[in-house]
Amino acid sequence: MDNVALRLVQLQRECFDPKPWYGFIAGESDRLVVVQLVSDTSDLDGYRCVRREDLTLIEDTFPRSDFIGRALRLKRSKPEPSPIRVAETMREMMAAIQQTYGLVTIHREAILPDECEIGQVRMSSDSTYVLRWLDPNAVWDPDYRPFKYSDVTRLDFGGEYERTLLLVAEDRDLGAGS
């Protein structure tokens, strides 16, 4: 991981985000930016990877910055650089995220703004991928439909929701706790 000076920012992608969101720039490449997210409860909750070209707002000074900074300090929460080297393409990022975290949340907001897929890439070509989906009840569902990497606008990973889903799915796979 390149040496990154973590800074709290307010971000927005006007084409996709109805309101700004907050986080720490945790890594970047020429095409992608990874942000460690600050949740609505002022906790650090995973990472978000977005296309640099979609960002319309990155502000270091904003009304909630003092509150968020103080809340994280009082909770003894410290941001960390992205544990994954930020790649130039969503395809490369998806592979790295899956290898490190086991799951990736994929958003294709330009074509399905209110939906996302959570899972593992099962098959891949240069331009498409096929998923092994994980549903909201942590049940694996193989799907054979190809999706285009060029449609991917956002990746989320390492958050509490993804960690919990994978934990339950792995427990089921082991046949434990039925």
Q: What is the predicted pLDDT for the residue at 2?
A: 46
Query: Which of 4-13, 65-74, 129-138 shows the lowest mean pLDDT across its residues?
Result: 4-13
Helical residues (DSSP H) of the chain, grouped into ranges: 65-74, 90-101, 160-173
Give the domains, in start order, of the chain with CATH numbers. Answer: 1-86 (2.30.30), 89-178 (2.30.30)
Long-range contacts of 159-162 (CB under 8 A, 24+ apart): 159/37, 159/45, 159/46, 159/47, 159/105, 160/45, 160/46, 161/46, 161/105, 162/46, 162/101, 162/103, 162/104, 162/105, 162/118
CB of 23 closer than 8 Å to CB of 36: yes
| Mean pLDDT, range 102-117, rounded to an integer | 95
Contacts of 168 (CB under 8 A, 6+ apart): 138
Token pair, residue 65, equals 């910055």
Q: How confident is the model at residue 178 (pLDDT cuts 50, 70, 90)?
A: low
Provide the H-helix boundaries in 43-149.
65-74, 90-101
pLDDT for residue 176 is more than 90: no
Token representation of residue 66: 């003092």
| pLDDT confidence bin for 1, thresholds 50/70/90 | very low
Q: Output the pLDDT for position 174.
A: 82
Give the tens place of pLDDT for each residue, 47-106: 999 999 999 999 999 999 999 999 999 999 999 998 999 999 999 999 999 999 999 999
pLDDT at 120 exceeding the cut of 90: yes
Q: What is the pLDDT of residues 60-70, one digit of tens each?
A: 999 999 999 99
pLDDT tens sequence across 139-150: 999 888 999 999
